[in-house]
């Protein structure tokens, strides 16, 4: 996968949260979404590029071109529209680039202006609360998407609590995101389907209600299975996130923790849980 690192800043946490929620919306899986998007970390005023509160958002796509189109559309519709926001490139040294302000500037209808500061070009686009500031382009690099763990619990509440602990542990691991709602997918998928039009379909081996109809992987006593899906900037960051989530999720009522095995159909990276925990 390819990813970019977007830094969004705003007047205060309220407007930052509003922009980031919109930017990350409908960004769970490239099976059907244009990108997989999530917050990597929140920035204090001392850490952000313009001295305001900020957030580092990672966005992953299948290709550079697809990612560039998706992230420009998302920022144009979800961040430029949000009061007080600005956007900066989180990887200015990356050799590969996709256009951002270079595309969005046309919204200024000829009134837009650009300025180069320390070798980086910024665009100032007039909007009704003043100006929307964004960089001309965003750096792109190779990343790893689709790391995962599957948590099997005795009850739904127990499994939900375990999954939440796992996601909260991943939030402490930089350079990783969990793009699904609350970081968790209940509708885990397998590659392919009996219906030719579908690229993926329900992971029937992990559906508790299908125990008697398929070769089930649901352990005895489990009534709920939840998946945490992880995207990271490197193989090491995904491994660290999976390890943290596994350790945090373990607890009373959690009967098994495993991971989806797709036989190499989804990429060259394999993460073996016993090795991660050794």
Residue ranges of the chain assigned to CATH 3.30.70.520: 2-142, 144-277
Q: Does domain 144-277 have CATH number 3.30.70.520?
A: yes
Q: What is the pLDDT of residues 120-136, one digit of tens each?
A: 999 999 999 999 999 99
What is the band of 81 on the pLDDT scale with cuts at 50, 70, 90?
A: very high
What is the band of 231 on the pLDDT scale with cuts at 50, 70, 90?
A: very high
pLDDT exceeds 90 at position 55: yes
CB-based contact 140:3 (threshold 8 Å): yes
Residue 124: the pLDDT is 98
User: pTM of the full predicted structure?
Assistant: 0.95
Q: Give residues with Cβ within 8 angstroms of 234, minimum separation 6.
A: 143, 144, 175
pLDDT exceeds 90 at position 263: no
pLDDT exceeds 80 at position 267: no
Region 218-242 average pLDDT: 98
With pLDDT > 70 as the criterion, what percentage of the chain qualifies?
Answer: 100
pLDDT exceeds 80 at position 262: no
Q: Tell me how far apart the alpha carbons of residues 3 and 37 are, in angstroms, rounded to a whole number.
A: 9
Residue showing tokens 């059907």: 32
What is the band of 43 on the pLDDT scale with cuts at 50, 70, 90?
A: very high
Residue 266: the pLDDT is 74
Residue 224: the pLDDT is 98
Q: 3.40.50.2000, 1.20.810.10, 3.40.190.80, 3.30.70.520: which CATH number matches 2-142?
A: 3.30.70.520
Residue 269: the pLDDT is 87
What is the band of 109 on the pLDDT scale with cuts at 50, 70, 90?
A: very high
Hey, how many other C-beta atoms are within 10 angstroms of the C-beta on 103? 19
Region 53-61 average pLDDT: 98
Could you give phi then psi for residue 61, rounded to 5 degrees? -145, 165
SS (H, E, C) 123-189: EEEEECCEEEEEECEEEEEECEEEEEEEEEECCHHHHHHHHHHHHHHHCCCCCEECCCHHHEECCCE
For the chain, give me the number of helices (H) and strands (E)? 6, 16
Average pLDDT, the chain: 96
Q: Tell me how far apart the alpha carbons of residues 72 and 223 are, in angstroms, rounded to a whole number.
A: 42
């Amino acid at each position: 996968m390819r990813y970019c690192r977007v830094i969004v800043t705003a007047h205060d946490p309220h407007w930052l949260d509003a922009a980031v929620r919109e930017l990350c919306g409908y960004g769970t899986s490239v099976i059907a979404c244009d990108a997989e998007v999530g917050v990597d970390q929140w920035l204090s005023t001392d850490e952000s590029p313009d001295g305001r509160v900020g957030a580092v958002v990672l966005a992953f796509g299948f290709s550079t071109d697809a990612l560039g189109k998706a992230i420009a559309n998302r920022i144009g519709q979800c961040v430029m529209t949000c009061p007080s926001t600005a956007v900066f490139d989180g990887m200015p040294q990356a050799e590969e680039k996709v256009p951002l302000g270079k595309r969005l500037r046309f919204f200024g209808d000829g009134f837009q202006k650009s300025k180069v500061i320390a070798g980086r070009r910024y665009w100032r686009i007039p909007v009704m609360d003043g100006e929307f500031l964004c960089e001309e382009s965003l750096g792109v690099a190779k990343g790893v998407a689709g790391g995962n763990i599957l948590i099997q619990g005795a009850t739904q509440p127990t499994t939900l609590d375990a999954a939440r602990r796992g996601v909260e542990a991943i939030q402490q691991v930089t350079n990783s995101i969990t793009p699904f709602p609350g970081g968790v997918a209940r509708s885990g998928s397998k590659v392919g389907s009996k219906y030719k039009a579908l690229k993926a379909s329900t992971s029937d081996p992990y559906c508790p209600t299908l125990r008697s109809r398929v070769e089930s992987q649901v352990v005895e006593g489990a009534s709920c299975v939840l998946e945490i899906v992880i995207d990271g900037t490197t193989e090491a960051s995904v491994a660290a996130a999976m390890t943290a989530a596994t350790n945090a999720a373990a607890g009373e009522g959690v009967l098994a923790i495993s991971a989806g095995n797709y036989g190499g159909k989804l990429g060259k990276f394999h993460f073996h849980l016993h090795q991660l925990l050794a």
